């Protein structure tokens, strides 16, 4: 029996037809990629409305146009140096090179409690009332999976942050929308909500200062929210992403400042906006112990907590000097003033001056839809804005404009819009 010494020998010693058809099979295996069908869970996810806007922007930039992007909510300023230095030093700590505690470092949870006591006079238990998050978005999406079963109802602001819908879709639950109207200062009018929907609802999302409307909440509104939530046994999730960004001397209120708030829900806070740490992906949820336990439980199965050095830097941010936070709010306030005065000069006299966030909510001129006007500004003035209907049906008729560019670029954007003469 002849010994075949190589794979090449094997091929050439085989009958010709076996070699020929074997080659075809090999060629097909190289050139054909098997397509696996997505799960029904993924198919339920809402379409990314802003994807085509991003594509158009990139095409214009690739064509050499000077595009001013005011459509995103991505902070443009760097993280304060003392926080960066804390990360650099902590990164050399060998104990952080191992897995972190599943539910976060005790020192970070203690820093969160100290922060809430200092800023809002709210007492929290670091063990049972704080959950460390991989950014606020993670908590906002996974909360629906923690509390909702298929077919359950969640109350959402309309317009609102699109990823609330993502979590509800993943949980196979149903959204019920609370209109945010200008005549109500962009607060939901609870008296107008359907009583049957209130009885069915298990979860409510709120967000003040608000993205995208820049509306702010009052003590009376949060007190009313607590009362409503208790009556109908609804868990409230207050998205406090812009908690540090209040203007004109007004400090945004925490939902947990209202009496009974911890009995009815939680608040989710991110370091992304307060400390320009968007890329660091660190946030936390605080409040109702049963909800915090549910968040911790789902994260036990998904993560092994954040890199310890990031947690130490986050604790440094929360405990350290807050001068940079105040400077940041003042910077956004100056940018707001530049934008509002520039748009009014361009003829948009109906725009309201926002009291918080780093957004403005601009009414579009008569004769345009939100998307049509956003496209006009992009194609004729090379100014990117976010059409309001991307945030919900009640966002139609508005554009969201970000304050995440320097004052001179915001001023130039206003001048380009003025040249179009669309408000005259």
Do 204 and 305 reside in the same domain of the chain? yes
Q: Which domain range does residue 209 map to?
A: 81-319
Residue 157 lies in a domain: yes
Q: Global pTM?
A: 0.90
* One domain, residues 130 and 197: yes
37 in a structural domain: no
CATH number at residue 295: 3.40.640.10
Statement to judge: residues 267 and 382 lie in one domain: no
Residues 153 and 209 in one domain: yes
Same domain, 135 and 248: yes
Confidence of residue 31 (pLDDT cuts 50, 70, 90): low
Which helix (H) or strand (E) segment holds residue 296: the answer is helix 289-300
Q: Which two tokens stand for residue 172?
A: 């196979």
Q: Note whether residue 109 is domain-resident.
A: yes
What dihedral do alpha carbons 227, 233, 237, 243 form, nearest 10°? 10
Number of domains in the chain: 2
The verdict on 186 and 331 lying in the same domain is no
Task: Indicate which CATH number applies to the domain containing 65.
Answer: 3.90.1150.10
Closest to 114 (Cα-Cα) out of 329, 320, 267: 320
Among 261, 290, 319, residue at a domain's last position: 319
Interval 64-81: pLDDT, tens: 999 999 998 889 999 999
- In terms of domains, do 314 and 331 share one? no
Mean pLDDT of 210-225: 97
Query: In this predicted structure, what is the pLDDT of residue 2?
Result: 41
Task: Tell me the per-residue pLDDT of 344-392, one tens digit each, with 9 for 90 and over.
Answer: 999 999 999 999 999 999 999 999 999 999 999 999 999 999 999 999 9
Is the domain of 200 the same as that of 253?
yes
Do 71 and 85 share a domain, yes or no? no
Reported confidence tier of residue 7, pLDDT bands at 50, 70, 90: very low
Q: Are residues 183 and 133 in the same domain?
A: yes
Same domain, residue pair 309 and 333: no
In a domain, 27, yes or no: no
Residues 300 and 335 occupy one common structural domain: no
The two tokens of residue 43 are 């198919």
Q: Which residues sit opposite 237 in a β-bridge? A: 205, 266
The burial of 176, by beta-carbon neighbours within 10 Å (0-12 exposed, 13-18 middle, 19 or more buried), is given as middle
Neighbour count for residue 395 (Cβ, 10 Å): 22
Domain boundary, last residue among 319, 335, 351: 319
**In-domain check, residue 18:** no
Domain annotation covers residue 12: no
Contacts of 11 (CB under 8 A, 6+ apart): 19, 22
Domain boundary among 264, 298, 319: 319
Tens of pLDDT, residue by residue over 128-179, are 999 999 999 999 999 999 999 999 999 999 999 999 999 999 999 999 999 9
């Amino acid at each position: 029996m002849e010994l075949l010494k190589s794979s090449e020998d094997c091929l050439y010693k085989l009958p010709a037809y076996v070699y020929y058809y074997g080659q075809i099979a090999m060629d097909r295996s190289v050139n054909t990629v098997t397509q696996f069908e997505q799960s029904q869970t993924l198919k339920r996810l809402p379409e990314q409305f802003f994807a085509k806007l991003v594509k158009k922007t990139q095409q214009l930039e690739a064509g050499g146009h000077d595009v001013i992007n005011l459509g995103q909510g991505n902070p443009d300023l760097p993280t304060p140096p003392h926080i960066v230095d804390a990360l650099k030093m902590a990164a050399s700590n060998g104990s952080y090179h191992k897995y972190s505690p599943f539910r976060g470092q005790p020192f970070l949870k203690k820093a969160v409690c100290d922060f809430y006591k200092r800023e809002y006079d709210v007492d929290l238990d670091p063990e049972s009332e704080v959950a460390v998050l991989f950014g606020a978005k993670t908590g906002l999406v996974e909360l629906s999976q923690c509390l909702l079963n298929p077919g359950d109802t969640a109350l959402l602001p309309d317009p609102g942050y699109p990823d609330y819908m993502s979590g509800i879709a993943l949980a196979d639950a149903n959204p019920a929308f609370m209109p945010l109207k200008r005549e109500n200062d962009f607060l939901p009018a609870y008296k107008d909500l359907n009583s049957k929907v209130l009885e069915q609802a298990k979860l409510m999302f709120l967000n003040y200062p608000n993205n995208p409307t820049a509306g702010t909440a009052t003590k009376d509104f949060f007190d009313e929210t607590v009362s409503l939530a208790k009556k109908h046994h609804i868990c409230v999730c207050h998205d406090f992403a812009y908690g540090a960004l209040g203007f004109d001397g007004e400090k945004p209120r925490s939902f947990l400042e209202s009496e009974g708030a911890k009995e009815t829900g939680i608040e989710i806070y991110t370091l992304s906006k307060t400390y320009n740490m968007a890329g660091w992906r660190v946030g936390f949820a605080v409040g109702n112990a049963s909800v915090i336990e549910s968040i911790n439980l789902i994260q036990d199965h998904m993560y092994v907590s954040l890199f310890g050095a990031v947690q130490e830097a986050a604790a440094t941010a929360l405990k350290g000097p807050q001068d940079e936070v105040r400077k940041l709010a003042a910077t956004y306030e100056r940018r707001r003033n530049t934008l509002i005065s520039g748009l009014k000069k361009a003829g948009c006299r109906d725009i309201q001056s926002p009291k918080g966030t780093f957004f403005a909510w601009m009414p579009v001129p008569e004769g345009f839809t939100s998307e049509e006007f956003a496209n006009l500004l992009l194609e004729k003035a090379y100014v990117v804005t976010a059409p309001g209907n991307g945030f919900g049906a009640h966002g139609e008729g508005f554009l969201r404009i970000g304050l995440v560019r320097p004052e001179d670029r915001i001023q130039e954007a206003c001048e380009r819009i003025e040249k179009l003469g669309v408000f005259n």
